[in-house]
Every structure is written in C-alpha cells, then in structure tokens.
Amino acid sequence: MSKPIVFKFGGTSVGSPGAIEAVAKIVAAETGERVVVVSATAGTTDALVRAAEQATSGDAAAAQQTIERLSEEHRNLIADLVGVNGASALSEIVDLTDRTIALLRSVALLRECSPRSLDAILSYGERVSAPMIAALLTARGVAAEALSAEGLLITDDVFGHANPLLELTRERAEQQLVPRMRYGTVPVVTGMVGSTADGVTTTLGRGGSDYSAAVLAAALGARECRIYTDVSGVMSADPRIVADAKPLPAISYAEAAELSYFGAKVIHPRTVLPAIEAGIPVRILNTFAPDDPGTTIAATTPRDNTVVKATTSLGGLGLVTVQGAGMSGVPGFAARVFDTTAAEKISVLMISQASSENSICLVVPNDSVKRLDAALKRMFSKELARHDVEKVAIEAPVAIVSAVGEGMRGTPGVAARIFGALGRANVNVIAIAQGSSELNISLVVGEKDREAAVKAIHREFHES
C-alpha cells in the first residue's frame, strides 16, 4: 500500500458552500489513501470562547443563543450543499448541540469554567465541521466518514494546550484510520481536538488543527502533510500587513519553527516537530488556488542568496524589566526571575539582558503582565528596599517583530540594515534579542509601531 496523504483544511476553507466544494475537488483529485483533518469554520472557535465567557458570568441564555446560532449556520450549510443526503450529519449536529448547551448550563450554574470544561466546549466547532465535510465528500463521490479525534489523537491532560502522545496515537490510528482507508473510505477527523488515554476531551490550543494534521501524518507515516489555507503558502510577511508580500517556495523546518513561533499564524508553531521527527514534508497550499505551488517545509532547503526570508510580528504582549546596579554579577539572579515566571505559570516569549547585567527584560502575554509585575516585586522586595534592584517596570502593549532566515547566519551587517530601516521609519526599538542560531533577530517595539516596523524591514530586504 502506498503511504497516505494527510490534508488539513482551515476555517476559511470550510466556511462557505463555495469553499467546501473546493475542498471536495481537492480531496477527489487524489486517488490513494487519504485522511482529511478539518478546523472549525472561521469565527466559530472565537464564538465558543465567548459562549464560555458568557456562561461563566452566569448568562446561560446568551451562551445558549451563541451555540444555537452556530448550530443553525452549520445545518444551513449542510442543507445548501447536500439537501436530504445530509440527514445523518444533521442529527449528529443536533445531538452535539444539545450536549454542549447542557455543558454551558452547568458552567453557568457554577460560574466557573475549568480548562477541562473549556476544551469540551471548544471541541464543538470541529465536531460539527467534520460531519458536514464528510457529508459533502460522500455526496461528491468520495466515500467519507466523520471521526472525532477523541480516542484517536491521544494526549496528556494539559487542558487547553495538550501534548500529543505519539505512540498511543499511532496505535489508535492503526485501529481506526488504517482499516477505513483500506476499504476506500476517507476519514474526516476533527482538528485541534484530542483526548486523554481514558477519553477525556482535550485540545491542542488555538490554531491546533495544523498540529493535529502533523501528528496524524507522523502516526501514519504519511507521504505528505498538506495544510490548505486562504493564502498561497508562507509569505515573506503577513499579507494583511504587507500587500506585496510574496509566497516562499521552500523553507526549512527550523525557519518554519521560528516564523510560526514569532507570529506567522499561517502555521501552528508545533506543527513542524512531529513532521521533522518522521521526515514528512509539510506543504502549505491555497484551497482557493490549489494549483499555486505553495510552500514546502522540509529538513533543508536549497541555499539561495536571500538573507531575511520573512518578517513576522506578534502583538498583545507586555515587557517587564527588572533593573538595578546591585544585581551585576550576583549569581542566581536570573534564576530567581525565572523561578517567578515558572511559579506563576507565565510563558516567556523573549528575554533580553544588557551586558552590564543591569537589567533583564521579559516579554510575556499582555494579560499576564500585571501578575508578573506583582510577583517580581514580591520576589525582590528586600532588594527593592535596599535599592539593589531599582525598579520593576512594565511597558505595554508591545509587539515582537522578527526577521527570520537561515541566510542571516554568518552574514555580517544584517542587524545594521534592520536598525537602519527602522530608524528611517521612525520606529523606536525597546529591546533586542538574537538567538545563537542566528536564524532570527527579534525586536520589541510599541504595539503602535508594529505594522510600520514590519513594513520597513520587508522593504529593506524584499523590495529593493
């Protein structure tokens, strides 16, 4: 048997009759073994987050309305696409809707939504999307069956951000996906969702359907993992910021990891890991222009003379600085800073320390800035009283802007060009970090300067 292909379709690819027809054509164009992974339709996961918030605040009626609206949208899509052939998909949606409303009611009663409950609520989006896509594929001549990834994609119990367990997932994929494919059925699997080994629903985090596709590709030893989205590949910048950003034909796993980590939403940061380990190429393609070459992500890419391949940005962040002359050369100082972030379970996106050791700054999500500030003030209360630490200060909102490319390694003058371009654009740089891999240079700028910074760096390296 030839190796299967895993297709993943994102939210905009499953959100309208036209888009779903395009999905069916893409899947039908291949004949071998195939697995399809689907996201929730665009906006659905956000709406579910809101419903959970409404329920937590006690407003069960508003939460219920949100779910009913989503249910109706999906049922209408099915009616438009396949008419009466959608009966079983419809009844599945009605069933899921009832259960999700019941769940939200209990959240509203308790006025508490644990990460575990939130995962169960969020799974609704993918679980109503999969039967819809399976119904259309079947109606268009591709025998397909919707499958929830609960009991298939096995994870640990870090709700909201679960980590797939590849060996267990491989066993389940052998049992559930392989026989279906052998009999000519295309499994249509819910993205982002998984479960613990004993069946409790988990999610892999926002944007997690890409990750699901890569994990299933690794579990199946797939030939290729194709991520279909609404742009023709990974581009030299977010096309919403830079109108003439260009698709990149090929990037390495390392470049993809850096790009996605620093904000290229087009691919989930952890997607590349399972693919690297299994040596499976990942391709980013456009559902609406499926013949465009897209971007291939593979272990290595042919060396060319581009220096910065892409410029990304990540907003919604804050910068916390601990500063004081009394910390120079004091061993264990940084360790205490990171003990604090660990104890508060705050993820640190970027660190920068001045060589004088006078200050250390941390970039964290904006919603944890105040908590980190208070915790650091507690941790260093004695040093603050003695003025060994002068201050713990916050700067927010800020954004990280990153220039990424393997061609930067060992190329002198890249930083100078970046700062020159930012200077000409009047962008003030608050902090800088460069990974020792020399694959990226990351800068912290004020949120208001984010777009100008991306445009300036893009212009410097791509538009000359």
- In the bound complex, what is the minimum distance in angstroms from residue 302's beta carbon to ligand ADP? 20
Residue 40 within binding range of ligand ASP, rule CB under 6 A: yes
Strands lying side by side in the sheet with 5-9: 144-147, 186-190, 34-38, 5-9, 224-229, 282-286, 295-298, 250-252
- Quick one: 203 or 340, whose CB is closer to ligand ASP? 203
Shortest gap between Cβ of 234 and ligand ADP (angstroms)?
A: 5
For residues 32-41, b (16+ Cβ closer than 10 Å) or e, as one string?
A: ebbbbbbbbb
State the DSSP string of 351-368: EEE-TTSSEEEEEEEGGG
Alpha helices in 183-221, H assignment, sequence order: 209-220
Q: Which residues pair with 322 in a beta bridge?
A: 360, 392
Q: Tell whether residue 187 is a contact of ligand ASP (CB under 6 A).
A: no
Can you give the binding site for ligand ADP, defined by CB under 6 A?
10-12, 39, 207, 229-231, 234-235, 237-240, 264-266, 310, 312
Of 138 and 209, the one with the shorter C-beta distance to Mg ion is: 209
- Nearest residue to ligand ASP, scored by beta-carbon proximity: 209
Listed ranges 24-32, 152-160, 202-210, 411-419: which one lies at the site for ligand ASP (CB under 6 A): 202-210
Closer residue to ligand ADP (CB): 90 or 237: 237
Alpha-carbon gap, residue 124 to 46, rounded angstroms: 12
Name the residue nearer to ligand ADP (CB basis): 220 or 267: 267
| Concatenated DSSP letters of 84-106 | GGGHHHHHHHHHHHHHHHHHHHH
Site string for ligand ASP, 238-277 (x = CB under 6 A): ----------------------------------------
What would you report as the CA-atom Rg of the chain, rounded to the nearest whole angstrom? 24
Shortest gap between Cβ of 460 and ligand ASP (angstroms)?
32
Cβ nearer to ligand ADP, comparing 54 with 190: 190
Nearer to ligand ADP, 301 or 341 (CB): 301
Among 3, 105, 170, 206, binds ligand ASP (CB under 6 A): 206
Residue number with the smallest Cβ distance to Mg ion: 207
By beta-carbon proximity to ligand ADP, the closer residue of 231 and 414 is: 231
- Pick from Mg ion, ligand ASP, ligand ADP, none: which does 238 bind, CB < 5 to 8 A by kind? ligand ADP
Name which of 149 and 421 has its Cβ closer to ligand ASP: 149
- Give how far Cα 393 sits from Cα of 32, 246, 318, 323, 324, Å: 58, 39, 10, 8, 11
| Residue 207 vs 446, nearer CB to Mg ion | 207
Question: Does 208 contact ligand ASP by CB under 6 A?
Answer: yes
Tokens 């479960």: give the residue: 195
CB of 33 to ligand ASP, least distance (A): 23
Say which residue the tokens 């620093």 belong to.
Answer: 262
Q: Which is closer to ligand ADP, CB of 12 or CB of 359?
A: 12
Residue burial 73-99, b: 16+ Cβ < 10 Å; e: rest: bbbebbeebbeeebeebbebbeebbee
The per-residue b/e assignment along 251-276, b for 16 or more CB within 10 angstroms, e otherwise, is: bbbbbbbbbbbbbbbbbbbbbbbbbb
- Our finding on whether 125 is near ligand ASP (CB under 6 A) is yes
Question: From residue 148 to residue 177, what is the string marking binding to ligand ASP with x (rule CB under 6 A)?
Answer: ------------------------------
Closest separation between CB of residue 8 and ligand ADP, Å?
8
| Longest distance between any two alpha carbons in the chain, whole Å | 76
- Per-residue exposure over 414-435, b if at least 16 CB sit within 10 Å of its own CB, e if not: beebbbebbeebebebbbebbe
Find the shortest distance in angstroms from Cβ 265 to ligand ADP: 4
Vertex 417 angle, CA 415 and 419, to 5°: 70
Cα–Cα distance between 161 and 159 in angstroms, integer? 5
296: tokens are 């291939």
| Shortest CB 210 distance to Mg ion, Å | 6
Alpha helices in 140-249 (DSSP H): 166-182, 209-220
Q: Which does 208 bind (CB under 5 to 8 A by kind): Mg ion, ligand ASP, ligand ADP, none?
A: ligand ASP
- Choose the contact partner of 64 out of ligand ADP, Mg ion, ligand ASP, none; CB within 5 to 8 A by kind: none
Q: Smallest distance from the beta carbon of 229 to ligand ADP, in angstroms?
A: 3
39 or 138: CB nearest ligand ASP? 39
Provide the token pair at 257.
């990891």
Instruction: Find the binder of ligand ASP among 4, 164, 191, 274 (CB under 6 A).
Output: 191
Smallest distance from ligand ASP to CB 194, Å: 12
**Which residues fall within 8 angstroms of residue 448, CB to CB, at 6 or more apart?**
none
- Preceding peptide of 397 cis, ω within 30°: yes
Quote the CA–CA distance of 316 and 396 in Å, as a whole number: 8
**Residues that bind ligand ASP in the complex, under the rule CB under 6 A:** 10-11, 39-40, 45, 125, 191-192, 206-210
